Amino acid sequence: MSQEILGIHHVTAIASDPQKNLNFYAGFLGLRLVKVTVNFDDPETYHFYYGDELGRPGTIMTFFVWSDAPKGRQGTGQATIVSFAIPQASLGYWIERCIKYGIRYESPEERFGESVLSFKDPDGLILELVATANPQASSPWSTNGIPAEHAIRGIHTIMLCEDGYELTAKLLTETMGWNFQQQEGNIFRYQIGVGGSGKIVDVRCAPDFWKGAVAVGTVHHIAWRTRNDEEQEAWRSAIAKLGFNVTPILDRQYFHSVYFQEPGGIIFELATDAPGFTVDEAPAELGTHLMLPPWLEKKRQRIEAILPSLYLPQTGTSPIRSSNHRPQTQLGFTHRFIPAAEPNIPYTLLLLHGTGGDETDLLWLGEELIPDAGILSPRGQVLENGMPRFFRRLAEGIFDLEDLKFRTHELANFVATAADSYGFEPDRVVAVGYSNGANIAVSMLLLRPYTLSAAVLFRPMVPLEPSQLPSLTGIPIFIAAGRNDSIVSPEETERLVKILQTAGADVTLTWHPGGHALSGEDVQAAKQWLLTVIS
């Protein structure tokens, strides 16, 4: 290649909690949140971009926010440390700021002639501030009480951890244009050109260290800078000729990307400088709105309703402005309504949470069972020790029957009113309930049978037995029960099945070897069942 890699473009890591991530990176570190968007491959999760004033390449740190992902393990085959550049005279300021914010830090140490301050983010990702005489000449973002002279200047260094560094070093030096600079112990430093912040990568050789696991609190991938599409395509061809499995060029809205795994297993990305983060927001408004690519705009309502609420540390405002993101309180129930993504999807899922849940608890389940279907998700009106439920109980498994009947009719009336208000088909409502939510769904089937066209019931029991059973002929019902459920016995489940079948329902019962908790096997079984009964 006649052109060299320009340096670091960005680093992407994985976080668990969007608000904690914002508070730390935009609040404590004072980076500018330049873009709030979603993971284009998983659009029901946030993707945050932080950087300097405009989010210039070399200053960008990004996060996939995966709340349900497991905790990662740092080790070989990973980028284990992200180092930010600060002015040489700013180390004392940042030590004081760590103390002020209660951030635990390691005593500063020297590495390659520069002072390094180490600490961790809320998910355990190791970060460093490097006091350097040669920070990037970018426009730092001065905010949250951080004077401009002490503000972070961008990414200084990335630390790669490998069980053997030779093949990675060969790729960096012989193909990508990096030059070996020097060695300290088992750390080998490489740089682009004359080096400096954003043009340095360290490779730590750790043959006796354990293999890393990429998840929460770890780096997902590293992106290197290419000037434009033409250079990126040339780099893609050169990397592919070496036998690496390189992806096609992908449009990431703010840059174009290709990905491959380097010999040690770390995901490398080649990203273009253009078009940049001002392509869809004015410079003064960067990071203040939820931005979606054109192909996801038609799903904005659904995406906004599912994403967790958050606020921006500097302004206290939310990047999601639509009322659809906030729980609706009209019609008698606090609830979420998400219209079907396509007009040819007639079904609306009535999501009914378990004790202690709320209107957001099962949104993921609705998306999994019938993607793009309408969703109506109410919050139970009864509080038990502060935990929402759909009806009162006197003890475990002993229900207040009068309250149950009242709440059943109240919920059925709400569904009818919601159908009229939101315009969904009232005869195409499928209840999806877990535990307490499944129990009130059974009660609706027995007391208000025409409210529901089908039901998916996870861990239900018999809530009541009416003196006269309704006709449930033609109503399909799926029940998922646990063989070792300490709350609902197998005998109780069999009694419920018999009651529903006697009423004429078409009942499918599946058993799981576990207990009362919902399992992935339950969800997949329900999904397959729905494919056979929903048309």
Q: Looking at the structure, tell me whether residues 280 and 331 fall in a common domain.
A: no
Q: What are the structure tokens assigned to 421, written together?
A: 């208000």
Whether the pLDDT of residue 362 is over 80: the answer is: yes
Q: Is the pLDDT of residue 324 over 70?
A: no
State the average pLDDT over residues 465-474: 94
Kindly state whether residues 487 and 385 are assigned to the same domain: yes
With a cut of 80, say whether residue 210 has pLDDT above it: yes
- One domain, residues 342 and 457: yes
Other residues' Cβ atoms within 10 Å of the Cβ of residue 88: 14
Q: Under DSSP, is residue 516 helix (H, G, I), strand (E, B) or coil?
A: coil
Is the pLDDT at 18 greater than 90? The verdict is yes
Q: Which helix (H) or strand (E) holds 337?
A: strand 335-338
Q: Left if phi > 0, otherwise alpha if psi is -120 to 50, otherwise beta: which for 273? A: alpha
Domain identity same for 367 and 511: yes
- What's residue 321's pLDDT? 59
What would the pLDDT profile of 255-307 be if each residue is shown by its tens digit? 999 999 999 999 999 999 999 999 999 999 999 999 999 988 888 888 888 88
- Domain check: are 16 and 131 in the same one? yes
Domain count, the chain: 2
- Indicate which CATH number applies to the domain containing 371: 3.40.50.1820
**Mean pLDDT, residues 35-63:** 94
On whether both 348 and 273 belong to a single domain, the answer is no
Q: Which two tokens stand for residue 3?
A: 């052109």
Quote the radius of gyration of the chain (alpha carbons, Å): 27
Q: Which residue has the tokens 């730390």?
A: 24
Q: How does DSSP assign 182-217, residue by residue? A: EEETTEEEEESTT--TTSEEEEEE-TTSPBPB-SBT
* CA atoms of 449 and 135, how far apart (whole Å): 69
Condensed to tens digits (0 to 9), the pLDDT of residues 118-144 reads 999 999 999 999 999 877 766 788 776
Residues 358, 451, single domain; the answer is: yes
What is the torsion angle, in degrees rounded to the nearest 10, for the CA atoms of residue 146, residue 148, residue 151 and residue 154?
150
What is the band of 326 on the pLDDT scale with cuts at 50, 70, 90?
low
Shared domain for 381 and 264, answered yes or no, is: no
Element (H, E) at 510: strand 506-512
Q: Which residue has the tokens 């066209």?
A: 453
Provide the pLDDT for residue 41.
86
pLDDT of residue 268: 97
518-528 pLDDT tens trace? 999 999 999 99
Is 301 a domain residue? Answer: no
**402: domain range?**
324-533
pLDDT level of residue 397 (50, 70, 90 thresholds): confident
pLDDT at 150 over 60: yes
The DSSP call for residue 71 is B
**Whether pLDDT at 327 is above 80:** no
User: Which whole number is the average pLDDT over 105-115?
Assistant: 96
Q: Is 1 domain-assigned?
A: no
3 state SS of 326? coil
Domain closes at, from 239, 272, 289: 289
Contact 284, 292 (CB under 8 A): no
Q: pTM to 2 decimals?
A: 0.72
pLDDT in tens, 222-255: 999 999 999 999 999 999 999 999 999 999 999 9
Q: Give pLDDT, residue 392.
A: 94
CATH number at residue 278: 3.10.180.10
Helices 436-447 & 401-422 angle (0-180, nearest 10): 80
- Nearest Cα neighbor of 235 from 199, 271, 201 is 271
The model's pLDDT over 478-529, given as tens digits with 9 standing for 90+, comes to 999 999 999 999 999 999 999 999 999 999 999 999 999 999 999 999 999 9
Tokens 């009423």 label which residue?
Answer: 503
- 437 touches 352 (CB < 8 A): yes
Based on the domain organization, do 16 and 99 belong to the same domain?
yes
Q: Which residue has the higher pLDDT, 112 or 321?
A: 112
The conformation of residue 73, written as its DSSP 8-state character, comes to B
The pLDDT score that the predictor gives to residue 260 is: 97
Strand runs labelled E in 17-71: 32-39, 42-51, 60-65
- Domain match, 79 and 140 both: yes
pLDDT value at residue 293: 92
pLDDT range class, residue 2, cuts 50, 70, 90: low
Task: Give φ, ψ of 240 to 5 degrees.
Answer: -65, -35
Per-residue pLDDT, 123: 97
- Asked whether residue 377 carries a pLDDT value surpassing 60, the answer given is yes
Residue 390 pLDDT exceeds 90: yes
Contacts of 238 (CB under 8 A, 6+ apart): 1, 175
Q: Which of 3, 69, 39, 65 is nearest to 250 (CA)?
A: 39
- Angle at which helices 436-447 and 490-502 cross, to 10°: 20
Whether residues 484 and 398 share a domain: the answer is yes
Residues 362, 458, single domain; the answer is yes
